[in-house]
Chain A
Amino acid sequence: MADHGMKLTLKIWRQKGPKDAGKLVDYPVTDVSPDMSFLEMLDVLNEQLVMKGEEPVAFDHDCREGICGMCSLYINGRAHGPQTGITTCQLHMRSFNDGDTIYIEPWRAEAFPVIKDLVVDRSAFDRIIQAGGYISVNTGAAQDANCLPVNKKDADAAFSAAMCIGCGACVATCKNASAMLFVSAKVSQLALLPQGRIEAEERVLNMVQQMDVEGFGNCTNTGACEVECPKGISLQNIARLNREYLSAALMSEK
C-alpha cells in the first residue's frame, strides 16, 4: 500500500478557543490510501500530532456514516467537500489526487460560533426546533396509527423533507448564512402531514421568528444550499415555507 500512498498538503484552520484568533496551518501528510475516509486521514494526522507532542486538530464527528449530522468540514471552499450528496464523513480520499493541497475550515456563520479548531456551536438549530418543530402530542394520547391514512405522495414528500440531518451545511454555504433550508425542511415535513396541520400556522411563525433571533441571514434564493445539502433537501421546501408563512401571517393579522 505504501507505494500507492498519496502525498498531500493540508491547510487546516486552528483556533484555540471561541475568543482566540485563528489561522490556517500547513500539515504535510504522506502515505494516504485512497480507501481511507477523509476523517480517517485526519485520524492519522492526529495520531502523528499527538506523538510529536502537539495538540491534535479538533473536529466534530460521531456516526461516520452520514446520518448523525455531526461532521461539518468546509473543504476546499465547499461544505462537506467536493462531492455532492454526501457528508464529510462519507468522503473518501479517492476523490483527491496525489500532490493536492486541501483547505480545511470550520462552518462559518455568526450563528455558529467556533468552539475550537473545526468545531462549531450549532445549538441555534436546537432552539429553532424548540420554537415549534414538533407536534404537541403527549405520550399515550395517540389513536391507532392506521386511523390516520396519509396519501402516499404526501407521506413520501414529508419523508424527503424529514431526511435533513441538521448538519448546517446549508448555512455554511449560503453567502447570507441563512438557515431557510433547514427550517423549511421541518416546516414542510409537518405541514404535509394531517397530524401536523393543526399547529402549522403557529409553527411556521415561531420557527421563523426564532431563526431571526439567532442571527441567521435572510434568504435571497441563491440556491447554493440545495446544491451542498448532503441529503438533497429541495428548494421546494423553502417555497412551501414561504407560502405557509404568508398565509399564517395573514391569518394572524385578522
Chain B
Amino acid sequence: MNDLLQFAVIGFSTGAVYAVLGASLVSIYVATGVINFAQGSVALWAVWQVAGLRTNGVLVLPVGSVQLGSGPMDVWPAVLIGAASGLVWSLLAHLLVFRPLRRAPELGQVVASVGVMLFIQALIPLRFNAKALGTEPSSLIPLPTLTSKVFTLGGATIAVSNLILAAAAIGIALALAGYFRFTRMGVATRAGAEDEQALRLMGYSPDRLAAFMWGTTGFVSGLIVILAAPAIGGLDPTSYMLYVVPALAVALVGRLTSIGVACGAGLALGSVQQILLFLTTKSWWPSWAQAGVGDAVPFVIVVVALFLLGRGIPERGARDAGAQAPVQVPRLRPLWTAAPVAGTAVAIVLTTGQWRFSLVMSIILTLIAASVVLLTGYLGQISLTTMAFAGAAGFALSKLTTNVGVPFPLSMLLAALTATALGIVVGVPALRIRGAQLAVATIAAALAIESFVFNNPAMTPYTGNLIADPSLFGFSLAVREGTDLITLRFSFMVLVIVAVLLIAVTRLLSGATGRAFLAVRSNERAAAAAGVNVPAVKLLGFALASFLAGIGGCLIGYSRGQLSAASFTVLVGLAVLATTYVGDITRISGAILAGIAGPLGLLYLVFTQTIDLGHYYTLIVAAAMLLRVVVFSPHRGAVPEWLLVRRARRSPAQPPAAAHAKEPADVR
C-alpha cells in the first residue's frame, strides 16, 4: 500500500507536466479554437535554455547566442529566463502561424501546429550544440531547482519537490480557470471564441486577447517543465515533445473546456503511469506487457473520452469542416502513367549504391504518401498513424518470414492485411470524432503502437526482427548481393508493386469510391442523406490507407533485411505528413513529390551528399510545411487572402466575393 502511495507521489512530477500542458491546451482551445500540438516543444526549448544558462551562462537564441555573466547562472534568474523563452516561442507561433490561420480549415491548423512542433524540435539540437554551450550537449543534465528534502509517511518516502510540483500545477490551473471565469478579459476571450464581432463591439481586440493567452500558456508550460525536468530526468528532445500526447489526452478528458478537469486528470495520469510502471516489475505481470503500458494508457483515455464526447453524425450548426483544399478528380492517362514509370526504371538502371537506394526509398515513400492522400486528402480524416501502420506490417512480416516461414508474395500480403486490421481498429474513433481531435487520437495510437510493439523488448528477439529476403519461384529478389547495396531486381520489384498499387488507387479515387470519399469529406450529413454509409466509408478509407502503408512498410523492411524501428517513429510519420502536405495532399502527384522529399529519400541524399545540409533536413521540411500552409496554402491561406483584400481596397469596383466574406478586420 505504501509502495502505491510512494509511486503515486513520484508520478506527480510527470503528472504536473501533463496537468499544466493540458490546462494550457484547453486555454488555447477556448481562446482560439486551435489544438496546439507544439505545446511540448515550446516547453522543451525552455528546458534547454535553462540547461545552457546554468552550465555556463549562455543564452542560446534561434540565431546566435549571448553570454550572460561569466559563469553558470543562478537558479531562479535562469528559470525565469527559461520560462520567458517559452512565452516568446508561443507568442511567435501565434503571430507568425496561428493568427494568420485562424479561419483556415482544421487540417491547415493541425498541419501548422505539427510544423511548429517539428521546427522547434529540429532547431534545438542544431542550436544547443557543443560550440554554443562550451560543452558536449550529451553531457548536460537538468540541474535541480527544487528542494531535495524527503520525508516518510506511513512507510513511504516522499520527495517534497513532487508535492511542490503538484501544488504548482494546481495553482497554475486555478489561475487560468480564474482568469476565464472572473476577469473581464477572460470572459471576453471566451465570448470572442464564439463571436469576434461582438468582442470588437465591446472594445476588445480578439487578437490581443489571444496573444495574451498564447504568451501566458507558453510561460507556464515552460516553467513547469523546467521545474519537473530534474525529476523526470534527461533532456531527450523527442520525449519532451511527446509529452504533448498525454497532455492532449487529459485536455480531452476535460472536454477541451474544463481546465480543472484537465489538471486533475493530468496529475492522476502521472500517478497511474508510475503505479503501472511499478506493477510491471511484479512477477505476476505478463512480460509482453512490461514495455509501453505507460503510452498505451493515454491512448485508451483519448479513445474513451473522445468516443463519449463524439457524435455519429455532426449536429445541425456543428462547426463545419470549413473551406477545404480543392480536389481535382484524377484521370488515368496512359502516357502520364507510363512516362514516369519508364523514367524511374531508367533512373534505377543508371544509378548505383547510395543513390539507387535513396531512389527506391523515394518510390516506397510515394506509396506511403499516397495512403496519406487517400485518407487525409480525399476522405478528410486527419491521421498521424500512417508510419505506425507501415511499421506494424514490417513487424508482422518479420514474424511471418522468420518464425513461420511464409513465402514471399503471401507473406507481404498477410503482413499488409495485419496493418489493415490495425487500421480499422484505429479508424473506429473516427466514426464519432473528426478534425483535429481525430489527429489527437491517431497520434496517441501511433505512440502506443510504437512503444508497445516496435520498442517492446518482449516482442523483439536479441537478433532484432529479421526479415527473410524475398524470392519468387526460386528467383532471388534480395536487396543485397555481394557488395551491391541494392540490386536491380529488388529495385524493379519495388517499382512494379508501387506502380500497380498507385494505378489501383487512382482508379478508386476517380470512381464511385473517390466520389463517396469526397462527399464524406465535404459534408457527412449530406452524404448520409444521399445514401452513403458514412461509417463504412470511413472504415474503408482507413483499411485501404493502412493496407497501402503496410505494403510500404514491408518494402522498407525488405530493403533493410530487418525491422528498423527507427524508420517508423511518430516523428517520421509527422515528416511524411509534412512532405505530403507540401507536395499537395489532394493529388497523387503530390505523393510523388512527397516521396522525393520524404525522410531518407532522394532530396535527403542530395542534402547530405552535395550541400552538406543533412542536419538541417527536418528543419527545412518543417519550414517548408509552415510556408506551405501559411503562405502558399492550397485553401488560399492568409497571405494571398490579405493580398486580395488589399487589391479589393484599391479597386473597390469589383471586390472579390470570397475576400470580402473572410476579410480579416484588422487589416489596415
A complexed with B: no
